[in-house]
Amino acid sequence: MRRTGWISFCLLWLLPLAAQQVVDRIIARIGDDILMLSELEELRAFQQLIEGRSAARPELFEQLVRQWIVVTEAEAVNFPHPAPAQVEAAFAQLADSFGSREAWQARLREAGLTEAAVRRLLERQLLVSSYLDSKFRPALTIEETAIQRYYEEELIPQMRTRNQPLPPLDRVREQIRELLTQREISRRATQWLETARAQVRVEILDESLKP
């Protein structure tokens, strides 16, 4: 059976989580592909590592499906994967955020992840983000009125609340433009994924994944 991209790394393996070994198995069929328990567990562990908590299993599964949709389309158009240096930079930034090598290793053990798994998950995250950006950014235009509105209705109140000096609009115009661009990319990506999710055939084989 065809296995694409980030879900091609194994069909059967053991993933240490909470000092237990979980035997891998198929949890869903999606299009002509399959999703494995190990993929769901790695996503759960990655969220636990980053945020200190993870979503419920049905929500995790939906996130996995949406990632599959993005990665499958990206690979269909031969969209380039992140360069190794980009992945390594993201990995170093994440590891450094824990303050020390010892703290980083402790969190990895707690989450049940290896550094190799983290690199793989970061590569997937970067691929999804980069592809969605390339898909929606070219058609976006942020009007000056939107920038002015953000400055007056959001930035000024934020600065006043923090008792910080207000920068002139000309100094922050491009930062605001990028922020509004990212918001619009996120909005359009969400709409596109909702439509794509409704069209893709998904057969759930694990009852605990159903809402």
Q: Does the pLDDT of residue 162 top 70, yes or no?
A: yes
User: What is the pLDDT at residue 48?
Assistant: 94
In this prediction, residue 178 has a pLDDT band, given cuts at 50, 70 and 90, of very high
User: What is the pLDDT at residue 161?
Assistant: 94
- CATH code that applies to domain 5-209: 1.10.4030.10
Are the C-beta atoms of residues 176 and 147 closer than 8 Å to each other? yes
- Convert the pLDDT of each residue in 41-97 to its tens digit: 999 999 999 998 999 999 999 999 999 999 999 999 999 999 999 999 999 999 999
Q: How far is Cα 45 from Cα 54, in angstroms, rounded to an integer?
A: 7
Rg (CA), the chain: 20
User: What is the pLDDT at residue 211?
Assistant: 82
Q: Does the pLDDT of residue 149 top 70, yes or no?
A: yes
Q: Dihedral angle at the C-alpha atoms of 94, 98, 102, 108, nearest 10 degrees?
A: -60
Q: Mean pLDDT over all residues of the chain?
A: 90
* 153: exposed, middle or buried (Cβ count in 10 Å: 0-12, 13-18, 19+): exposed
User: What is the pLDDT at residue 23?
Assistant: 74
- Convert the pLDDT of each residue in 20-35 to its tens digit: 445 799 999 998 999 9
- Convert the pLDDT of each residue in 117-127 to its tens digit: 999 999 999 99
CB within 8 Å of 84: residues ≥ 6 apart: none
Are the C-beta atoms of residues 207 and 28 closer than 8 Å to each other? no
Q: Does the pLDDT of residue 7 top 80, yes or no?
A: no
Q: Does the pLDDT of residue 116 top 50, yes or no?
A: yes
Q: How far is Cα 191 from Cα 195, in angstroms, rounded to an integer?
A: 6
83: DSSP letter:
P
For residue 166, the one-letter residue type is L
Q: How far is Cα 113 from Cα 121, in angstroms, rounded to an integer?
A: 10
Smallest Cα–Cα separation from 7: which of 92, 27, 16, 111? 27
CB within 8 Å of 120: residues ≥ 6 apart: 6, 9
**Average pLDDT over every residue of 153-181:** 96
In this prediction, residue 129 has a pLDDT band, given cuts at 50, 70 and 90, of very high
Q: Does the pLDDT of residue 14 top 80, yes or no?
A: no
- Letter string b/e over residues 3-18, b meaning 16 or more CB atoms within 10 A of that residue's CB: eebbbeeeeeeebebe
Q: How far is Cα 108 from Cα 119, in angstroms, rounded to an integer?
A: 12
Tokens in use for 120? 């793989």
188 versus 14: the higher-pLDDT residue is: 188
Helix (H, G, I), strand (E, B) or coil at 162: coil
